[in-house]
Structure 1
Amino acid sequence: MKRALVALAVIASLAACGGDPDVVDQNTSTKSDDEKKQPEKEQGAIVDSGFGQGDDEYVGLAAIVKNKSDHAGQTVTVSFNIKDTSGEVLKTESQVDNFSWPGQELAVVTQADLAPGQKAASVEATLLIEDDGTFADDVSDDLGTADAPLVNSEYGGRVAKVQMTNPNDKILKNPKVAVVCHDSSNKIAGSGFTYPDLIAPSGKYADEIDVIVSASAKSCKVYLEPGLG
């Protein structure tokens, strides 16, 4: 059976804290022999993306990718081009993740460090989805999201105060806790992440997660996702 490869590029030229991206279908490979799968163009899309940068060179990047297919397990890669005010690309960072359930809004988050003195003005996000079965064993039920207040850390900087519940009756081992922060206009203004060792069956999880955010960031949303492998 031929591997189904989905190449969907979503280009979002964003203002300082994010924006609504346009969707561009750049390339579609030969149709899969599995006629039960949805058409490749319907697999997924970036629904929001953006970044946050404080007073230093560190940038928190985030993209929310919607699984529009009727299954899960696809490999999701997002590449972020960080640009200055003139449109020059200062740095490119990428992050690989995977869909864990149909309809999932996956938070793909990472960070970049620019040269001292460089300031990000916009981000261009490009999405690649590969339906090759690599993460078929990582499919799960919806693990949910939660709101998290953004507060000042006692060590400087800002943290998201996270409280979540494992909705499963089994241990979550090394789950991903992804944090996406927003400003008062609900534009993405930064991100953070962590991988706790485990969360007990139906258990509570609480933490203060370091985030890289712009000064305009006001609140955060947390996405609980299965660990890889």
Structure 2
Amino acid sequence: MKITVRKVIPLAILLPLAIAWGVSEKQSKAPAPSLVAPAAGEKDTATQKSDAPSAKIHEAGFGQSDTAAVAMVVAQADNPSAVGQFVTATVNFLNADGGIIATKQQVERFSWEGQEIALPVFLFPEGESEIPHVTDIDASVAVSDYSSSEHVQPELPQIDAVSIAPKNQGTSAAFEFTNHNEMLDGLRVGAVCHNAAGDIVGGGSAYPNAIAADSKIRFEVDMYQQEVADTCKAYLNY
């Protein structure tokens, strides 16, 4: 499995939650070397580069059921500038010959410093055809670099499943969450399942609705996987 991290790539996010941006650049010849120090408040190129939003892939893997395949990409905010920025996971689903079956993407948004987000990238069959057999994935992440006034949100926990059980022709993992913050309009949840060896064998997503302050909820995530999972963990986001 190949993993690539593109640290700073401006994006035009196509999901409803994203804002279309127009970017224009003017190219000019590099100025002659100067001994004049930067003006007060200005940052040199190296500093600007280090402050640019970036992310890294913590882990990635995939699972496949009779109805779909899902790649789970766990991305982590690499610096404070990533808060409020969109992170896009791009996955090539590969066949036994290494050819690309399809390329799919998923977008989420970082809400606090150092946050880990589990992005589920789905591959569904087209029409009445069966889904091709996936043997590997090629995953990469890219982070937007938009001007953002987004405030850091309170951290949300990573939750271990309280139960993992067969459901219909697949698997369902149940999670319990206590909201110690103010009322939440809803949660965006990516869940990752591992086998006993620690390999990702599948995952899924869920979107619980409004959650009252100081209340506890239970929600289930339908998992796309063939191999039996030993553990499942939910990554919560706003």
Q: Does 1:70 align with 2:70?
A: no
Secondary structure at the residue paired with 1:39?
Answer: helix
| Distance of aligned partners of 1:34 and 1:101 in 2 relative to their CA distance in 1, 3 Å threshold | farther
Who is 2:200 aligned against? 188
User: Does structure 2 retain, via aligned residues, the 8 Å contact 1:73–1:133?
Assistant: no
Q: Does 1:91 align with 2:102?
A: yes
User: Does structure 1 retain, via aligned residues, the 8 Å contact 2:63–2:203?
Assistant: yes
C-alpha RMSD of the superposition: 2.6
AA partner of residue 52 (structure 1): G
The alpha carbon displacement at 1:139 in A equals 3.5
Cα distance between partner residues in 1 of 2:58 and 2:80: 18
Cα distance between partner residues in 1 of 2:42 and 2:224: 42
Cα distance between partner residues in 2 of 1:108 and 1:34: 36
Q: Does 1:160 align with 2:173?
A: yes
Matches within 5 A, 1:1-229: 12-13=1-2, 21=3, 35=43, 39=50, 43-54=54-65, 56-71=66-81, 72-114=83-125, 115-116=129-130, 118-133=132-147, 136-137=149-150, 139-148=152-161, 149-153=163-167, 155-168=168-181, 170-226=182-238
Secondary structure at the residue paired with 1:186?
Answer: coil
TM-score (norm 1): 0.78
Secondary structure at the residue paired with 1:96?
Answer: strand
The alpha carbon displacement at 1:163 in A equals 0.8
The alpha carbon displacement at 1:34 in A equals 7.7
| Distance of aligned partners of 1:183 and 1:34 in 2 relative to their CA distance in 1, 3 Å threshold | farther
| Distance of aligned partners of 1:166 and 1:90 in 2 relative to their CA distance in 1, 3 Å threshold | same
AA partner of residue 50 (structure 1): G
AA partner of residue 225 (structure 1): N
Instruction: String of CA shifts for 1:196-220, please: whole Å, max 9, x gaps.
Output: 1111113212022211113242221
The alpha carbon displacement at 1:138 in A equals 6.4
User: Does structure 2 retain, via aligned residues, the 8 Å contact 1:143–1:167?
Assistant: no
The alpha carbon displacement at 1:112 in A equals 1.0
AA partner of residue 221 (structure 2): I
Which structure 2 segments of 5+ residues have no match? Answer: 11-24, 26-40
| Distance of aligned partners of 1:28 and 1:116 in 2 relative to their CA distance in 1, 3 Å threshold | closer
User: Does structure 2 retain, via aligned residues, the 8 Å contact 1:83–1:89?
Assistant: yes
User: Does structure 1 retain, via aligned residues, the 8 Å contact 2:9–2:144?
Assistant: no
Cα distance between partner residues in 2 of 1:27 and 1:101: 18
Cα distance between partner residues in 2 of 1:50 and 1:212: 12
Instruction: String of CA shifts for 1:138-194, please: whole Å, max 9, x gaps.
Output: 6311111111132112x34210111112231x1111211221111111111111111
The alpha carbon displacement at 1:38 in A equals 6.8
TM-score (norm 2): 0.75
Say which one has the larger Rg. Answer: 2
